[in-house]
Amino acid sequence: MSRRRIGFWYRLAAVIAKPPLVVLFKRDWRGMEHIPADGGFITAVNHNSYLDPLSYGHFQYNTGRVPRLLAKAALFRAPFVGMMLRGTGQIPVYRETSDALGAFRAAVAAIERGECVAFYPEGTLTRDPDMWPMAGKTGAARVALMTKAPVIPVAQWGANLAMPPYAKENKLRLFPRKTLTVQAGPPVDLSRFHGLEPTPDVLRQATEVIMAAVTAQLEDVRGEKAPAEPYDHRKARAEQRREAEGKGST
C-alpha cells in the first residue's frame, strides 16, 4: 500500500502550529531515515508533556509521513480543536464504553490504507519521578501483531522542560529557549511473536519489547541509563494503598 497524501487539513494545522514552534523552540530531529517512505506503520512514542504531541507532530510532519494519533474522545467535542482533529484524521478513543474497540479497528484500517498510526503506549503522561517511560499498555502491540506493520520507537525530550507534567501551575517555561529533541529508531523486531495467539501474556511480552526500544532511544537522547524496571503506576498505587491501610491499622 502506498503512502497517503498529507492533505488540506494537515497542511492547515501546520500553517497554524509551525510558526510559533519554530520561533519559541530550537529543534533537534534525529533518525528520520527510520521512518518508512511507503506503506502503513506504527510509531510508539513516550509521553512526558501536554506539549509533546506538537513536538512529535512537527517532527513527523517534516518526514512527509503524517501521523494519525489516538486521542481522547472528549477532545473531539471541543469546537475548533475537534474540527481540526477530525479534519486531520485523528482517531478518537472512547474509554470504557461499547465503542472502546472502535479506535482499535480504526487504527488497523488506517495502517491497511498505508498510513502511520501513532501510539502513546503508556496511555497517559508518565508518572515516573525521573520522566522515564512507564510500563506500557498493549494496544500498540495488538495492532502490530495483527497487521505485521513496522513499529518505529520514538523518544522525545524537551517539551517536558517547557511544560512539566502534573506541575501545580501549567505555565509555559519558554526561557531560556528549550530544544525539542525527537529521535526515531530502527523498527522493533517482533518477529518472534508473529503467528502466535495474541494472548494477554504474548501481548504483554510484545509490549515490553516495544517499550524497551522506546526507552533505549530516550537513553540515547538523555545520555543516561533508565531504571532496570519501568515504573508501573498501578503497582505504585497498590503499594500506596497498602501502606495507607497499614498506617491506619496501627
Backbone angles phi, psi at 118, to 5 degrees: -100, 130
pLDDT band at 3 (very low <50, low <70, confident <90, very high): low
Domain spans in the chain, listed from the N-terminal domain onward:
8-249
Concatenated DSSP letters of 32-59: GGGS-SSS-EEEEE----TTHHHHHHHH
Beta pairing partners, 86: none
What is the arithmetic mean of pLDDT over 64-91? 86
pLDDT band at 235 (very low <50, low <70, confident <90, very high): confident
Position 198 scores a pLDDT of 94
Average pLDDT score, the chain: 89
pLDDT band at 96 (very low <50, low <70, confident <90, very high): low
Identity (one letter) of the amino acid at 171?
Answer: K
Position 104 scores a pLDDT of 86
Nearest-angstrom CA–CA distance, 244 and 228: 27
Class of domain 8-249: alpha beta
- Tens digits of residue pLDDT in 170-210: 678 888 999 999 999 999 999 999 999 999 999 999 999 99
Here the contacts of 164-169 (C-beta below 8 Å, separation 24 or greater) are: 164/49, 165/48, 165/49, 165/50, 165/125, 165/126, 165/127, 166/125, 166/127
Position 71 scores a pLDDT of 80
Three-state secondary structure call for residue 28: strand
Q: Is the peptide bond before 176 cis (omega within 30 degrees of 0)?
A: yes
Residue 70 pLDDT > 80:
yes
Identity (one letter) of the amino acid at 204?
Answer: R
The dihedral sign for the CA sequence 192, 210, 144, 59: negative
Residue 63 pLDDT > 80:
yes
Position 248 scores a pLDDT of 62
Q: Map grid coordinates 507532530 to a residue.
A: 57
Position 130 scores a pLDDT of 96
The dihedral sign for the CA sequence 8, 11, 16, 17: positive
Position 48 scores a pLDDT of 96
pLDDT band at 166 (very low <50, low <70, confident <90, very high): confident
pLDDT band at 99 (very low <50, low <70, confident <90, very high): low
In the 3-class helix/strand/coil scheme, how is 189-240 assigned residue by residue? CCHHHCCCCCCHHHHHHHHHHHHHHHHHHHHHHHCCCCCCCCECHHHHHHHH
